[in-house]
Structure formats: C-alpha cells, structure tokens
Structure 1
Amino acid sequence: MTKWVYLFSEGSKEQKGLLGGKGANLAEMTKLGLPVPTGFTVTTEACLDYLSHQNQLTDEMKEQVTQAVETLSEKTGKRFGDLDQPLLVSVRSGSKFSMPGMMDTVLNLGLNDQTVAAIAKNSQDERFAYDCYRRLLQMFGDVVMGIDNQKFESRITALKKLHQLNYDNELTAEHWKTIVSEYKEIYRQAIQREFPQNPIEQLHLAIEAVFGSWNNARAKTYRRLHDISDDLGTAVNIQEMVFGNFGDSSGTGVVFSRNPSTGEPGLFGEYLINAQGEDVVAGVRTPKPIQVLAEELPEQFQQLQSILENLEKHYRDMQDVEFTIENGKLFILQTRNGKRTSKAALTILLDFFREGIITEEELIERIEAKDLEASLHPSFDETVISNRVPFLSGLAASPGAAVGAAYFTAEAATEAKARGEKVILVREETSPEDIEGIAVSEAVVTARGGMTSHAAVVARGMGICSVVGCEALTMEEDGGVVGKETIKEGTILSVDGTLGNVYFGEIPLEELTNTVALDELQSIWDQHAKFQVRANAETPKDIETAMALGATGIGLARTEHMFFERTRLLQFRRLILADTLDERLEVLKDLKDVQKQDFKSIYQAAGGKATTIRLLDPPLHEFLPKNNDECREVAKALNKSFNEVKRKSDNLAEVNPMLGFRGLRLGVAYPEIYRMQGEAIVEAASEVIKERGYEIQPEIMIPFTIDAQEFAKVRCSIETAIQDFLAVSNQKITYQIGTMIEIPRACLVADEIAKYADFFSFGTNDLTQMVLGLSRDDSPRIINQYGEAGIFEDDPFQVLDEHGVGAMMKIAIEKGRQTKPNLKIGICGEAAAHPKSLVFLNTLPINYISCSPFRIPQAKMTLAQYGVTGLKK
C-alpha cells in the first residue's frame, strides 16, 4: 500500500521531493522541538496521482487522511465538529521549490454553523469566532469553488462605507454575523448548494483544490520563468490552526533572518497585531516593522529572534519564517530558505563563511553564476520585467541592462551623448568606425552578427550590454523595423544583454551597489583552480577593469583594436593603401611611436603581470573604405586621388576576408610591419622596467600560423629587429615569441611549429569557424536552425565544440608538448570561459584561459567549483 500521508513527526528536511519544501521543513522543525502546530502532509506523489486520475482523490487517500485527522485529534484533544473543543485546521500547498503566492491556501477549515457558535461561547469572543468563519467562507468560496473573490470583498467594503469605518478590525461581532450571512448567500447563488457543514467534506474539497492549483495559470507561469519542472506536483499541509486574531496579545507576521535586499544580519520583516496570516500578505492592513514587536511583545520577540538564529545555523542558510502569536504563545508555521537579491546572496554566503556556519568549500560550491553576474552589471527590476514582453530578441552578446534613446549612427550617438542623453546604438552591424559611438552608448543592438562579431567583442570588452543578431530587425533609411513596429530616432528602448531581449519604453533598473568582496573571493577561488584566468584587453581602462576583476594577466592584447579610433584609423588606412615600401616605412615611423606608447600603457596598467600582445591581425575589409563617399573622404584626408584610393581598395577587397590576407600573411608580405611592432613592444617594456621596476617578460604572439617555416621566417625577422635594439641599448630582456593556433592545419603540424614557438594560444573563434565551416559573423541563422532540429545542443561559438574543435586542440597540445614538454599553452575567446567549456578544458594540460574582463569572476568561480566538487556535464 502506498503511503500518501505523513505526520510531521514522521518526516525530515531531506524529503523535500516527497513532502514539498514546506512539509519537509515543518517535519524538521517538529524534530527540533520548535513550537510548530501539529499536523500532517499529503505527498506530492498523491498530487500527481490525483491529477492522473481525472482529478479525484482515491478511497485509499481519503482513508489515510481520515486516520491522520484522528491522530491529530488525539494529540490536540480537539475534534472536527466537537462543540467543546472543535478542531480547526489550515490547508496550505507546498511544492519542492518555493513558489510564493502561486498556489492556494484555506484557513479555519472545520468551522460550521454549530462550531462557530461553540467557539464564540467558549472563547467569550463572538467577534473573533465570526471573523474566522467569514474568512473560511471567503477563502473556501474563492479557492475551492472558484467564486470571484471580489464578490466577497465588495460586501465588506459596502458595510464599512455604510457605518463610516476604515478598517476591517473596526467591524464588530454583529457586523461579522451579517457578513457571514451574506457570504453564505453568495455561495448558495454561485454554486446552487449550501456551504458544506461537514468538516471532512470541507477537507477533501480543500485538498483537491490545492492539488488542482498546481496547474493554475500563475503557477505554470512562475515555473516557466524559474525553470521548475511541471512534473513535481505539490504537497498539501494540514495543520492545527493557531489564531493571531485573538486580541492584542496575538498577532502574525513574516520575518527573514537577514535583510533579503542587502544581506545585512538582523531580523527583517513585518507583523500585525490581532490578525491572521493572510492579512499580512494581502495588504488589507499596513503591517509594522518586526523591530516594533520588541516593544509590544518583547518576550515573544526575543524567543522569535533566538529561533531564527538557530534555524539559520541548522539549515546553514537565510530563513524566511511565518509565525503566529496566540494569546502570548509563539508558533512557527513555516520556514524556508529565503529568496534574496543577487547582491544579498553573495553577502550572506561570505558572512556565513566568516562566521563559521559554512566551510570554504561550501562557500565556493553555493555561489551561483547568476548572482555573481548580477552583482557586476545593472539589471532590470524583476517585478516589472516579469510582466513585459520583448518586441525583439537576439543573441545575449554582453550582459547587463540599459535604457536609452535609439540612434542609428556613431555620429548621431556621439552628438546625443554630448546633449546629455543616454544612448542605445542600433545598427545593421558595427565596424571599427563605430567605436566612438559604441563607447558613448549604454547598449548596442545589431541586426546581424554573432557572438564573436565586432559589436559583441568590443561591447564585452568595454562592459557595455549588447544584443546582436536580431534577425527580425531590418534597418531602413529612417530607422529600424520589426514587423509592424518601427524604431525611430529617439525611441526609448530597454535592452537586456543578459537574456538577449529588447523592450519598448523605460524599465526601471535595480540599483547596482558594487560592495561584494570580490578580492576575498578571488583569493579563495585561486587556491582551488587548476589553471589561471587572463583577460582579453588592450586599453588601459579595460586592463584596469580586468585586474580589478581578478585577471592573473593579459592573455590577448589585440593590436588591430588600437586603430579603431578615427584618427588612428586614418593612419592605418594610409599604411594599407601605400603603394611603395618607402611610403610604408614613412607611415611606420610615426606608427612606431604611437604603438610604443600604447604598449607602455598596457604594461603600466597590467602592473607587471604576464602580458601577451598579438601582432596585427586585421581582416582588411574592416578597415577599408566601404563605399564611394568614404573613398572620397579618405582620398581627401590622405591627399590622394579618388581613383587611386578606389583602385587600391578594390584590389584589396576579398570575397572571404576572414580567410584572406590577415595575420601572419601580413608579416610575410610586409615584414617591416611586424618588425616595427616587435621593436615597439620590447622598447616599451624596457622603458617601463626602468620607470616602474616591473619584471616584464614580453610575450609576442604571431597570429594565423599554418606552417612551421612560415612562422620561423617571420619570427627571425622580428627577432633580428629586437636583438638590434637590445644590442644598441646594451640591455638584456627575456622575451617569448609564440603563436595563436586558429587554423586546423596548425593543429596537425603543431610539433613542427613548436620547434620555433615559445608558446601556443588557441584562438577559439577562428578555430571554431574553420573546423565547422561556419562563418563566425553569419552563423546565427544556421546555428538556430540546427538547435531547433536537435543537431546542436549549444552554439559552438559560445560553448566549445569538444568533439570537433576540442579534438583538434588535443592533437595540437599533444604534438606541441612532444617537441617542448614545458610549452606554455593558453586558450583565448569567450567560448573558453563558458562553464560547460571549462568542464572540458579542465581535462587538458593548459596553463590559462583568456576572456573579456567581465567574464573573469564567473570563470574563476567555475574553476574553483570544479576543483572542489568536480563539475558534471
């Protein structure tokens, strides 16, 4: 025989799946000897059975409920329908996961026309008795029979208006008798039968109603929003009633053991004197802060405080407790782990660790990525965002939330910012020329592009929220079009870069208070991580941000990004449009001074930590003039003819520039460019060593290698320039020259390349697009289709493709280490920092990963969790 019903004395906190969170905690508190009203739980399995049997309780369930009621009567000395000691119970839902307010409750069950009169006589308080009866009639009618609650509320409102009263507690016993009579008539008219007088019938109907509420609309919505399975069911908790509406020495309230908004220690909550629990949450009366209870009922306050401190230590978590005081006696009706803001979650865990409530390992294990993420970026008010529907969605390219006015060009965005506006840059796609517009924007939204597109990479580096690849967005001359909706210049948008959604209008932002002790967490995480986490960053601001967020160094400083600013872009165009070596050398002379200052700034911002600078790797299409107007503008600025600029641009144009003239190929064709950069890197290091005393060992990365001899040739050219400088300056600086492995052939000949390379750094973006044959900028549509078809579980540009890309990496690492056993190996790119990717990377013998600054804390946290518990895929 299946056991459908458990007394509180029979369960424990470990049985949340069977008894629901509320039932398991009531059982646990009963075992602890806390003042919990006696009761029993009908299990979640009974709920699922009920829902699968045409919504009917089986005879076996009814029999077990009756037996439990008998046991309850023996323990309390009260019985259903008894005129001397009538038993009244509450009926409450309780699923495995807390779903506040989503399912239904019935209080004072067991009252009928006879027992209400008996309670009035025995308590010598008619007002109390009939107040309880009207509550049962109202809740039962609403929850169990589906009668519109407003029909009940309107009668109370009318009665208060008639007698010129403001509050429910001003109504007398006679008033409540009138209301009871009217409520019974409402029930009779709506249901076409009398309110049931048999308490067992009331109980069966109430249990069925709670089971049924598992599938009500608001519960389904809540589960969808919080990723809770529909297959869990809810338990039902039947508990002896205690009464907070028994006069001025009675009351009810809800209290947290710590502030759920800030995490500060100390009781936080509200209560009402002479009220039942539903009054607090229903907003019928304005409750008082819990601290006032210390003045009104000091003994009960001290007892409540002591109980919460013990519960917090027992559950090792912040507790959310419902309590009732009946004639001066305190009862605990429920405890659960309290919901809290992300900032509070981190603060509470750190405090628990410092107080010795949890261990270092538990601290690491219990931090959630979403809380860490939210503590670093703005987010929308959850109560508002849950009721809003986005009009546009895309890839969540850079987390955070922002509100601003839409502008469609970098120039317009910059001008709007100068006027004091908050700006959202909306583009078909971004290019290096948009850098100033991106820099002044609160968020970037693009119609095209993937997670590694220009907009995504630059926004992540700057910590600006971004949504890219919004396929429903079409950019037209006067704005953006999404279906029948139009985004015009100045339209206010709210952008959620964490979820990839865009909304019309302003959504309030949660206040961002960066008081989380990241430094303390970083030192703890580092002790448990298998390898280091560096940053992809090249501007001093981004590097300083990365260091503040825990970067152990710079794994990728992209020198082509240094030419996105307008005046530098012009210089770079002068270089790539030059026709002769002399013309290039003249430009390079100026660029060397500029680059040296760039590299000095990088070394200074990194504070002596390991820094890898990648030599130029420009897909030239990002830097060439895009149209005739731009060609005329560039021609004028460079003092060249339009035809000359147009001819050169056309000659350099490529059908597939991502696989064209870039990276090391630039160094082979124009070795003077890489020689200039090598000299500038070492000269900058030399000056910073003298000025700051840092121990700098320059790490120079040559990108896009496919062949050992190709790499050796370019390395020799760079090294010659470096050695010439060191000889002239009479200095000794140790440096390394390595390569970025991002082409499948390089993986296959890694043993040969390793003869000449001091380190390998895998470029996950390019390696992914080449292994999978998917353009990293044009892939979202294909990836979405493959996801819907069940071919891809994850976007390979966000989560490392273990079986394809990962297999190539394994080959390259094995071959490289065969040649050089101590070869330093890093993994660069956002995919490397994804928690799923880190599970795989922990199996490889690597030295570090490198990602955008704001992903560093989550990556370090995940690595530490892996070190403590091992992560499961």
Structure 2
Amino acid sequence: MEKAGEKYVYDFSEGHKDLKQLLGGKGANLAEMTRMGLPVPAGFTVTTSACQAYLATGSNPPGLAAEIDEHLAALESAMGRRLGDASDPLLVSVRSGAAFSMPGMMETVLNVGLNDESVVGLAAQAGGNERFAWDSYRRLIQMFGKTVCDVPGDEFSNALDEAKAARGATDDLHLEAADLQALTDRYKRIFAKHTGHEFPQDPREQMRLAMEAVFRSWNAERAVLYRRQERIPADLGTAVNVVAMVFGNLGPDSGTGVAFTRDPASGAQGIYGDYLQNAQGEDVVAGIRNTIPLDDLRTLDRRSYDELLEIMATLEGHYRDLCDIEFTIERGKLWMLQTRVGKRTAGAAFRIAAQLVNEGMIDLDEALRRVSGAQLAQLMFPRFDLAEEPVALTKGIGASPGAAVGRAVFSAERAVELAAAGEQVILVRRETNPEDLAGMIAAQGILTARGGKTSHAAVVARGMGRTCVCGADQVEIAADRFTTGGRTINEGDVISVDGTTGCVYLGAVPVRPSEVVQYFEGEQTDSVLVDAVHKLMSHADTTRALAVRTNADTAADAARARRFGAEGIGLCRTEHMFLGDRRELVERLILAATPTERADALAALLPLQRADFVDLFRAMDGLPVTVRLIDPPLHEFLPSLEELAVNVAVARERGEDHAEDAQLLDAVRRMHEQNPMLGLRGVRLGLVIPGLFAMQVRAITEAAVQLAREGLDPHPEIMVPLVGAVQELETVRRECEQIVTEVVADSGVHVLIGTMIEVPRAALTAGQIAEAADFFSFGTNDLTQMGWGFSRDDVEGAFFWRYLELGIFGISPFESIDRDGVGRLIRIATEEGRAVRPGLKLGVCGEHGGDPESVHFFHEVGLDYVSCSPFRVPVARLEAGRAAITAGESDSR
C-alpha cells in the first residue's frame, strides 16, 4: 500500500549508494557515480516501492505517472532531445535493478522511443548511418516483443539466422542497412502474429509498458527460482531505471564491454573483462558473439582505455572492493552504464578479502564479513587428478572454478529430469539465458560454446558456486550432441569440466582433495589461497563466542573433526555402534523373555561399548564428549514383522517346525508400532528395558576412568534423549548417578548429565527440566519434525518442492532453522532453562549446527556451542566469527 505523499521517482543526482533498498543496486550505484562526477548518461529511477504497489494492486500507484512526466521532461531538457521526436529523437533504456544483484533474472529493454518515423531521424542524427538506425530498431522490437509481450524469442533468433544465411554472413555485423530494414519488417510481422496488434508506435506507451514488464519480471519463474536459491526476500520488488541511450553500435569506433577491477574467478589483481566493437551491452552478457579481452581495447582506443582504467581505480578505492563495471564507448566517448560490487568465486572472495586487508583498504572484521561459510564449503570440494593424462576434448575460459563430472545434457529440462533421478549432469549450451536457470541449478557443471567471463553462464555460475567453462568455441552443438576436434559427444556420455583451467575431458577424471582440505588436515600447503583462508579463519576463531563441536560416532571421525578445529563432540549417537554383528545382541536384549536373558545380552554388550568409548575419548583427549544414550526407533533393531509372518505361514503350510519363529513373531507383534518415530525410543526405551541405560553409563564411565589412569583427560557428558517431562530425566539421572559414583570414585573424572531438547514439550517446560540437567543440547532435526508435524523422510520428496514453489518455505526448515517456530522454542528453552540454572551449558547438535544462517541464530540466542558433521566444522567456525561481528554491529547501534 502506497504512503501518502510518497516519492516514487528519483533523478540520478538525488540518490546515493546507501539507498539500495529503495533505488535498487543499479539505481543507487548510478546515482553514486553521478555524485562522483563520472560520465554517466542522464536518467532517473522508479523506486522499489512503486513496484511493490504495482504487484499488490496490478496497477501503478497514484501520482507515479505525474512524477515520471516531470522527470522525463528534465531528462529531455538535459539531453536537448525529446522522446518521440521524429527528426532528433531521445531514446532511453528501461532496465531492472533490485536491491540484490540478480544477473540476467529480470528484464531490460533498449532503444525505447524508436518508431517508423524516428528511425529515419536516428539515422540522420548518426550522420546518415542507416545501418545503425535499423539495427537499433530491430533490437527494440525483439527485446520489447520478448520481454513485454511474451513473443517467443526463438522466432526472432531464427529470423536473424536466416537473414545472416541469405547474406552469407557469420554474424550480424555483416548485415547491411537494407538487410536490417527487411529484418525489422519481419520482426514486426512476428510481433503482430503473436500479439494480435501492431508494434506500438507511441514512445510513451512503449516506456510505460516496458516499465510494467520490468515490475512483473520480479515474479517471473526464473527470478523466483534465483531468489530461492540465493535466499533473497520475495517482497523487496525491483526498481526501474530509465536512462538516456548511448550507442556502442555506431561503428568500429564504438563498442561495449564489462570490466572487473580484479579477476572474479581467481581474485588475482589486474584488469579483467570483455569488449565488443560495434555492439550494444546485451551482446556481451548474452554471449551472442565471442568477445575480445579488455586489454585489446588499449590498441583499439587508447584514450578510452586509459580513462576506463582511471575510473576503475577510482571506483575500487571508493567501494573498497572488487567492482563489476558495464561501459559503452560511443564514437570515442566513454560512458559508465553500471557498477556494482562484483560477484566472485569462493576462492576469489577469500583472496580479495585478504589482499584488501594487506593493502590497508579494509580491516579483518570487514574481510570476515565479505566471505561466507558457503564459500568455504565450496573450496573444500575436490579437484581433478590429471596424473593419468585424461583425453582432452577442448578448452574454453575457466569462468567458475571446480571439478565437475557428469553426463552431457543439452537442455535445462533434461538436466532437471536426470538430476531428479539421481544422475550427475553437465549442462552443455551454445550460451545460457535466464530460462536455463533450473538446469544450471540441477547440473554439476556448465559448458558453453560462446561467451566469456562476463557472460550470463559465467556470472550466474559464480554466484551459485557451480563449475563453469565458457567460450569453448571449438565446440559445435546440436540438439543432442556436440562435436569438437573430430569427436562426437552424445547426450548421456560422461565428460569432466575444469572450471579453473577451462579444460574439458572425455570420461570421468579422478579427483583429489582440495588444498584447503589439505590445510585443515594439517598438511603442508603453500598457496595464496591457503594463506588467505588461514588469515580469515584465524580471525574468526579469535572473534567468535560460539564453540564448535562435531557429531562423531567413531574415533576416525572424531580425529578428523579435531584436525578441522572441532572443540569436542556434541553428539555421539550410540545406536550407530550397535549395527552390523552387534545388532543381534540388541535384538536379544529387546526381546528377552526373562531377566537372565536380558542380563546375558547386556553383559555381552558392555565390553564392546566400553572399547568404543575408550577409542572416542582417546581421540578427543582433553575435550568434552557428549554421548547420547541409545535412541533408535525400535523397529530398526527388530526382525521384519512381514518377513517373520511369511516364514511362519510357509513353514505351517509345509508342516515344518515353526515353534521358534512363531514365538519370535508373537514377541515382535507385541513390540510392533504404527509410528515408530513417536514410539518406544529414547528415554522411554531406557525406562522400559531395565539395565539398558545402566550398561551404557557404566561403559562410558569405565572407559573414562581407564584413560584417566593412563594420564589422559577425558570429559564425558551423558545425554538422555527424547525427554518430555522432568520426571523422566530425574528417574534416569538417579540411576546414572549411582553408577557414576560407584565407578568414578577418586579417579578425578567429572561426568555431566544432561538432556537433548527435541520434543516441543521439553522446550516449553525447560525451566522444570533444567532442575535435573547439567546441560541442554537442542536436537533440531527431531524438534523440527515434531514442531512442524513432518516426517522428514516422507515429506521432503513428497511435497516440499511445492511448498518451495509457492513460497511457503524460502528454504527447507531441515536445512536452515525455522526462526519463527522452532527457533522460538529454542529461545523459550534457553531463557527458562538459564533462569533456573544460570550456568546451564547450551548447545545444538542437529545438522543445523553447520548451516551458516542457523549459526547466526544460535549466536543471537546465546548458546555455548554448535555441533555438526566433521566436514562442516570449518564452515561453522567461520560463520560463528561472522556472527559475532554482525551481533557486535547490532549492539553498537
């Protein structure tokens, strides 16, 4: 709903870079460059508030049209031309610009204002250059038709291909004015066929319809998918920028390009980018023609090149970061069309952050803000091992690093289909466009025949952390195959794509660990990237308040997690210790008919459990180890009811002896549960089966005492699972304390006894439960299942896709903590537990403990530690440091 008197339109001279939420990133940065005195074409921005009002009501807010009239008149006055003037027309671009960069996701229309009359005036304005005028007009019809009126883009592309074939041209540069005029006429017919009306000749109508199309593009399927992937809020809306056109397609002394102040793929310092002579901006990012390196501009137009380098240095110094710049040269005059803090690969993010610290441009806190746990996780993925010299197919431009192996597919739809079936795929395209986004997300890697480091494929892949090779121009792509170097790769053939070197190989190339993993493993690794990771990880460790533990059930996992920086074990799942040949012992225990049978089973299990804990405590010497008492759904340790029933029925039919199986079947039927996840498990199992928890507690304490007498320093913590009432915990605690007192004696071992908060009732009665607990550990997996009433195993594949599609979930609550629901339960339990016991130790042991967004929440709530799988420990360490800095900023405000 619009606010009374709200201002919806801002001239570029009125804004600045800190107004991103209102003006969008593009508008805010155009305003900032205008304030800096850089050569920016005149223009104005329609705010995100106007977009929000349009999307809410289906029409523009009152007063918007009058504000646009006022600012358009000012733009016409500044440029000395009028929109729609037949003899000397003003043309504008209408471009989207959200607060968060969403490359290629929303719409742009160039050359707005051209019609059948003004195209003649444009040619005269350009010194009689009719080719330029008709080229600009056909581009407008193509972009307007596709963007505003949903005319299939392929029809325009096919018409262009046919025009090139008729001329014998390999690209559109060799089309002459007459060819382009004829192509414009054909584009008009295509437009009319699909829309039922002629291409609009009124420039004001063109502008209004283009603006509304940009508003609507906020909710386009690909934009929604991208926002979901990048966790961008859905209610922000996009701004619209109306900018006076400057033309890079006026001839060889004109052109357009994209530049980066540092390499966005590696982070190396230098000048990087792509340039196209005689082209408009969309040609570069669309990858329609292969570009030339930006450095070649030095020989083509030294004056513009030098000016561009000076501006790039100014912008990097002003933004104190890698800048991504779009520019156009119009007959030797340089114009800045856009700048933003550039997207970069994970490796580049760490290298650039460390470089800027070394250069004194930012401090370590700011450097830590600029990297993320998700990026660190990407750096921990393996790389290709080329020792066996794989068969090289081709080489392109390494646009987004990584080692991706998969089956070649040639459409986004096929990529999604095969990925859903569990296949790893490589999406192969001439060039990607926004419609390919779903396939790019589904694929392990992306290979394109066209485009460079600034093409759509490269920019989007870098943002998502996908491996990408672009501009492999030796590759000829057909509908279901590609050929290169005399080889044909059919759909389904396996290829390997190296996004660092740009190399593409036949078959599956073996991979080796990343240098970052080698660093965490303590191996000697000498590289700029590792130095950067070390610098930022060290700062995170000195900054963070949250300790980071690991979830580990074996000594090997515990040792690896410790090398990765784990400060203890937050969850040892003892039920995992009863698999394999031990399963029969647990089955005997559960189904024991007499105390003697039960005692025999427990006696057999005790030494096995004790040996497990000796190994685990030894691996974590000096650090806390939280051992969860056995917590399986009962059916996991019972024979299959169905199989037993069939065996007994068959034996009975054959007249065979089936008394033993029949007795076992009766016992399993008595224990059978309709919903085992909510049945006899956790603390309930320990209370119903006498001696089970006692055996485990004895094994834990005896192992700890054994190591203490060897001179080690074990710190066992016993965690009782699935408690919903304090009386359950009190009962188990009394039994535990008796055994602990007996076993520990004067060994010096100190044992904590606490509980796992994974039942909503436990969170809501945490004040009572804290009276009997030394610590709480939040089991967020089960707490999420019970809080939502979801069975994770059943619902994720059944309907979560639909919930994500409808926006009910921004992300699965099993991936990132549900702050409003499950998170509130955690807050309540934290506050009430510590109100009763101020020194209560609090942690989280669900896999949310390794999710970057969730780590920030756990810091806010005031937990003492998070625990996650070994591989995610470095991610949690980094994010805990970032969370402390972010919270510090909030506190200072």
Same fold (TM over 0.5): yes
The answer as to whether partners of 1:529 and 1:866 remain within 8 angstroms in 2 is no
Q: CA deviation at 1:677?
A: 3.3
Between 152-161 and 385-394, the greater mean CA deviation after superposition: 385-394
- Residue among 24, 28, 35 paired with 2:28: 24
Aligned residue pairs, count: 738
Match of 1:700 in 2: 718
Between 150-159 and 65-74, the greater mean CA deviation after superposition: 150-159
The answer as to whether partners of 2:94 and 2:211 remain within 8 angstroms in 1 is no
CA distance in 1, matches of 2:799, 2:290: 55
Match of 2:94 in 1: 92
- Residue among 562, 569, 580 paired with 2:577: 562
Q: Which amino acid counterpart does residue 718 of structure 1 have in structure 2?
A: I
CA distance in 2, matches of 1:568, 1:521: 45
The answer as to whether partners of 1:214 and 1:220 remain within 8 angstroms in 2 is no
SS in 2 for 1:267: strand
Q: Which amino acid counterpart does residue 341 of structure 2 have in structure 1?
A: N
Once the two structures are superposed, the pairs formed by residues 651-730 of structure 1 within 5 Å of their partners are 651-653=670-672, 662-663=681-682, 673-685=692-704, 694-703=712-721, 704=723, 706-707=727-728, 710-723=731-744
Between 652-661 and 30-39, the greater mean CA deviation after superposition: 652-661
Q: Which amino acid counterpart does residue 835 of structure 2 have in structure 1?
A: E
When Rg is computed on C-alpha atoms for both structures, the one with the higher figure is: 1
> In the alignment, is residue 868 of structure 1 matched against residue 888 of structure 2?
yes
Match of 1:69 in 2: 76
Q: CA deviation at 1:211?
A: 0.9
Match of 1:646 in 2: 665
Q: Which amino acid counterpart does residue 207 of structure 1 have in structure 2?
A: M
**Structure 1 length-normalised TM:** 0.68
Once the two structures are superposed, the pairs formed by residues 304-315 of structure 1 within 5 Å of their partners are 304-315=308-319
CA distance in 2, matches of 1:180, 1:786: 49
Q: CA deviation at 1:612?
A: 1.5
Q: CA deviation at 1:69?
A: 1.0
Match of 2:131 in 1: 131
CA distance in 1, matches of 2:805, 2:273: 46
Match of 1:106 in 2: 110
Q: CA deviation at 1:374?
A: 5.7
CA distance in 1, matches of 2:215, 2:671: 63
Once the two structures are superposed, the pairs formed by residues 815-834 of structure 1 within 5 Å of their partners are 815=836, 817=837, 822-830=839-847
CA distance in 2, matches of 1:161, 1:347: 47
The answer as to whether partners of 2:606 and 2:696 remain within 8 angstroms in 1 is yes
Deviations 1:84-105 (A, max 9, x none): xx57644231333445443232
Once the two structures are superposed, the pairs formed by residues 437-452 of structure 1 within 5 Å of their partners are none
Q: Which runs of 5+ in 2 are unaligned?
A: 228-232, 382-401, 426-442, 445-491, 494-506, 517-528, 652-657
Deviations 1:717-757 (A, max 9, x none): 4225524xx77xxx544444444466789889988987876
1:670/1:265 CA distance change after superposition, 3 Å? same
The answer as to whether partners of 1:142 and 1:148 remain within 8 angstroms in 2 is no
Q: CA deviation at 1:143?
A: 3.9
Match of 2:342 in 1: 338
The answer as to whether partners of 2:325 and 2:338 remain within 8 angstroms in 1 is yes
1:160/1:582 CA distance change after superposition, 3 Å? closer
> In the alignment, is residue 52 of structure 1 matched against residue 52 of structure 2?
no
Once the two structures are superposed, the pairs formed by residues 243-392 of structure 1 within 5 Å of their partners are 243=248, 245-247=250-252, 249-294=253-298, 296-297=300-301, 300-341=304-345, 344-345=348-349, 348-349=352-353, 351-353=355-357, 355-367=359-371, 371=375
CA distance in 2, matches of 1:711, 1:285: 72
Once the two structures are superposed, the pairs formed by residues 613-652 of structure 1 within 5 Å of their partners are 613-627=627-641, 629=643, 641-652=660-671
Percent identical: 35
The answer as to whether partners of 2:628 and 2:718 remain within 8 angstroms in 1 is yes
SS in 1 for 2:258: strand
1:206/1:334 CA distance change after superposition, 3 Å? farther
The answer as to whether partners of 2:89 and 2:118 remain within 8 angstroms in 1 is no
CA distance in 2, matches of 1:803, 1:559: 29
SS in 2 for 1:321: strand
Deviations 1:46-96 (A, max 9, x none): 77889726999946643542332122229xxx999698xx57644231333
The answer as to whether partners of 1:270 and 1:287 remain within 8 angstroms in 2 is yes
The answer as to whether partners of 1:540 and 1:601 remain within 8 angstroms in 2 is yes
1:829/1:46 CA distance change after superposition, 3 Å? closer
- Residue among 230, 235, 244 paired with 2:240: 235
Q: Which amino acid counterpart does residue 183 of structure 1 have in structure 2?
A: T
1:328/1:663 CA distance change after superposition, 3 Å? closer
- Residue among 569, 586, 607 paired with 1:572: 586
Deviations 1:129-167 (A, max 9, x none): 122111222123334566887777667655654554434
**Structure 2 length-normalised TM:** 0.66
1:697/1:640 CA distance change after superposition, 3 Å? farther
The answer as to whether partners of 1:664 and 1:702 remain within 8 angstroms in 2 is yes
The answer as to whether partners of 1:95 and 1:233 remain within 8 angstroms in 2 is yes
Deviations 1:590-630 (A, max 9, x none): 43343233223323443542212233344433211122646
CA distance in 1, matches of 2:158, 2:807: 53
1:720/1:52 CA distance change after superposition, 3 Å? closer
CA distance in 2, matches of 1:275, 1:794: 40
RMSD between superposed Cα atoms in Å:
5.7
CA distance in 1, matches of 2:603, 2:144: 84
The answer as to whether partners of 1:320 and 1:335 remain within 8 angstroms in 2 is yes
Q: Which amino acid counterpart does residue 664 of structure 2 have in structure 1?
A: V
Match of 1:485 in 2: none
SS in 1 for 2:423: strand
SS in 1 for 2:142: helix
1:513/1:25 CA distance change after superposition, 3 Å? farther
The answer as to whether partners of 2:256 and 2:276 remain within 8 angstroms in 1 is yes
Q: Which runs of 5+ in 1 are unaligned?
A: 395-400, 406-441, 444-490, 493-505
SS in 1 for 2:327: strand
Q: CA deviation at 1:44?
A: 5.9
CA distance in 1, matches of 2:733, 2:6: 75
Q: Which amino acid counterpart does residue 846 of structure 2 have in structure 1?
A: G
Q: CA deviation at 1:272?
A: 1.9
1:296/1:688 CA distance change after superposition, 3 Å? farther
CA distance in 1, matches of 2:759, 2:618: 32
The answer as to whether partners of 2:86 and 2:121 remain within 8 angstroms in 1 is yes
The answer as to whether partners of 1:529 and 1:864 remain within 8 angstroms in 2 is yes
Q: Which amino acid counterpart does residue 95 of structure 1 have in structure 2?
A: G
Deviations 1:610-665 (A, max 9, x none): 2122333444332111226469999x9xx994345334434544677667655556
CA distance in 1, matches of 2:763, 2:289: 70
CA distance in 1, matches of 2:191, 2:748: 94
1:530/1:264 CA distance change after superposition, 3 Å? same
Q: Which amino acid counterpart does residue 240 of structure 2 have in structure 1?
A: A
Q: Which amino acid counterpart does residue 714 of structure 2 have in structure 1?
A: I
CA distance in 2, matches of 1:610, 1:190: 70
Deviations 1:112-136 (A, max 9, x none): 465456456x5xxx6xx12211122
The answer as to whether partners of 1:563 and 1:572 remain within 8 angstroms in 2 is yes
1:68/1:768 CA distance change after superposition, 3 Å? closer
> In the alignment, is residue 208 of structure 1 matched against residue 226 of structure 2?
no
SS in 2 for 1:706: helix
Q: CA deviation at 1:687?
A: 5.6
